Amino acid sequence: MSVDKGAIPHACPGTESKEAGKASACAGCPNQTACQTAPKGPDPDLPKIREALADVEHCILVLSGKGGVGKSTFTAQIAYGLAAQDYQVGVLDVDICGPSMPRIMGVEGENIRKSAVGWTPVYRHDNLGVVSAGFLIPSADDAVIWRGPKKNGLIKQFLRDVDWGALDCLVIDTPPGTSDEHISIVSALAQCQPDGALLITTPQDVALNDVRKEISFCRKVGLPILGLVENMSGFVCPKCKKGTDVFQGTSGGGRALCEEKGIRFLGSVPLDPMLARACDEGRDLASETGTPSAEAYKNVLDGVKAVLSLGDPADD
């Protein structure tokens, strides 16, 4: 769905306006200089991005307002789950300063290769490709100290220049918050009609408060919200099988927030040491059959497929 310009606060003149960076409302904005110097008018890269993603059937963004709630873990496990069912899947990691996908997807140390048709993703499986800024950093210990315009430029380059081929689903992992990267990715996908956003939270109120901001962001920029998943939702003891609510909120958790905001609740995933180990070792959680989180992810995956109306890949 394209960006809804009418939903953007009227005080901001917009990046394409002649008053961008010059209006009184721009005073104090961290992007003021970038808006003043940026070329005005329609972005010439948008048609190129639309062409590059023309064979991508579904595109979803994984968002949350709070860091550390499990966006990257969720992105990886959903991608693994879809690929295991023979869908063609791509994972795009736009968390420029904290790219964790190479490690979680088990492709750390690999490199993106350039060819005549563009950048080639790193493939975990024949039908599961990954693109991340982590592949461009000399060392995993190196900090990425970039300002907004440089980060935004790389995000556009990923969307414009990567040769994904035909995909059933492109899953985009984002950093926490509602800042430069989020505005950049939504704007760059303006002509591609992404399916929408999947929101991730944990049960405690401090995380839910930030997810409320993410909901507000999605509605202001016209990005559909496909549903919400509550991560770290209790702990099931592997010995006695008794459940304990580790992160207890006072407002009813993710389910109550969905009821309040009119959002689809896609399910809960409990804390699970096996899930943490699978991420550290770059493995698919599905190999850990019988664990509470593996079963929870299967249920969430079914919900995601239903929202996207994903049919049998053999029918595509």
Tokens 């049998």 sit at which residue?
A: 312
What's the confidence (pLDDT) of residue 15?
65
What's the confidence (pLDDT) of residue 40?
65
> Residue 4: pLDDT band by 50, 70, 90 thresholds?
very low
Contacts of 235 (CB under 8 A, 6+ apart): 243, 244, 246, 270, 271, 272
Asked if the model's pLDDT at residue 108 lies above 90, the reply is yes
Asked if the model's pLDDT at residue 9 lies above 80, the reply is no
What's the confidence (pLDDT) of residue 314?
56
**What is the average pLDDT across 265-281?**
91
Nearest 5°: the CA angle 188, 106, 165 is 40
N-to-C CA span, the chain: 22
What's the confidence (pLDDT) of residue 2?
37
> Residue 6: pLDDT band by 50, 70, 90 thresholds?
very low
How does pLDDT run across 12-65, given as a tens digit for each residue?
776 667 777 788 888 878 777 777 776 666 788 999 999 999 999 999 999 998
Q: Determine the angle formed by the axes of helices 71-84 and 292-308, rounding to 10 degrees.
A: 70
> Residue 132: pLDDT band by 50, 70, 90 thresholds?
very high
> Residue 315: pLDDT band by 50, 70, 90 thresholds?
low
What's the confidence (pLDDT) of residue 20?
79
What's the confidence (pLDDT) of residue 207?
92
pTM (2 d.p.): 0.85
Hey, what amino acid is at 216?
A: S
For residue 286, what is the DSSP state? G
How does pLDDT run across 150-195, given as a tens digit for each residue?
888 999 999 999 999 999 999 999 999 888 889 999 999 989 999 9
**What is the average pLDDT across 255-271?**
95
Asked if the model's pLDDT at residue 5 lies above 60, the reply is no
Q: Environment class of residue 269 by beta-carbon count within 10 Å: exposed (0-12), middle (13-18) or buried (19+)?
A: buried
Asked if the model's pLDDT at residue 316 lies above 60, the reply is no
Q: Which is more confidently placed, 47 or 249?
A: 47
Looking from the CA of 249 toward its CB, the CA atoms found within 13 Å total: 21
Asked if the model's pLDDT at residue 263 lies above 70, the reply is yes
What's the confidence (pLDDT) of residue 11?
67
How does pLDDT run across 135-152, given as a tens digit for each residue?
988 877 888 888 888 888
User: How are the residues of the chain apportioned to helix, strand and coil, as percentages rounded to the nearest 5?
Assistant: 40, 20, 45
What's the confidence (pLDDT) of residue 213?
94
- Mean pLDDT (the chain, rounded): 87
**What is the average pLDDT across 262-270?**
95
